Amino acid sequence: MYVDLRMEQGEGELRSLHAWLRNDAAVRRSSTSEVRSDGPPQPGQMGSTLEVIKMVTENGWSAASFVMAVVAWKRTRPQSAQITITRDDTTIALTNCSDDEVRRVIRVLDDGQRGESRGE
């Protein structure tokens, strides 16, 4: 399964999240990730393109462990940035990290993982 993470706050915050995820044993054990540009600059855009964390998950990947690692990182930040998580054609936002929101994000990611294991 492929998972992309984006946020509106600059490159430094995205790289901080990437480092956090790479240091989380449960996430690191079952996925590989890198920070990449999100495509070529748009016409009239100055500077570099937005960056995105690109993840490839492996067998044993846990959506719950992944989401809880992202939530833990968000709670260390002085300003709460919205994180957009995309899996295949599904995009979901993690904003306030309420219990309901966390459960919803985990459910969406788990549903995608189950679909892949059934060959959908």
Q: Is residue 77 part of a domain?
A: yes
pLDDT in tens, 82-101: 999 998 888 999 999 999 99
Is 100 a domain residue?
yes
Q: Which of 61, 73, 57, 53 shows the shortest CA–CA distance to 4?
A: 53
pLDDT for the residue 118: 44
Q: What is the pLDDT of residue 48?
A: 54
**Residue of 102 and 10 predicted with greater confidence:** 102
Identify whether 45 is part of a domain.
no
Does some domain include residue 67? yes
Residue range 76-80: mean pLDDT, rounded: 83
Domain that holds residue 62: 2-38+50-117
Q: How far apart are CA 49 and CA 96, in angstroms?
A: 26
* Residue 101 resides in a domain: yes
For residues 50 and 14, the model is more confident at: 14
Number of domains comprising the chain: 1
For residues 91 and 6, what is the distance between their CA atoms, to the nearest angstrom?
10
Is residue 64 in some structural domain? Answer: yes
pLDDT value at 32 more than 60: yes
**Cα–Cα distance measured from residue 26 to residue 84, given in angstroms and rounded to the nearest whole number:** 21
Instruction: Determine, yes or no, domain membership for 44.
Output: no
Determine if the pTM surpasses 0.85.
Answer: no
What CATH number is attached to the domain comprising 64?
A: 3.30.70
Residue range 59-85: average pLDDT?
91
pLDDT band of residue 47 (cuts 50, 70, 90) is low
The answer to whether residue 43 sits within a structural domain is no
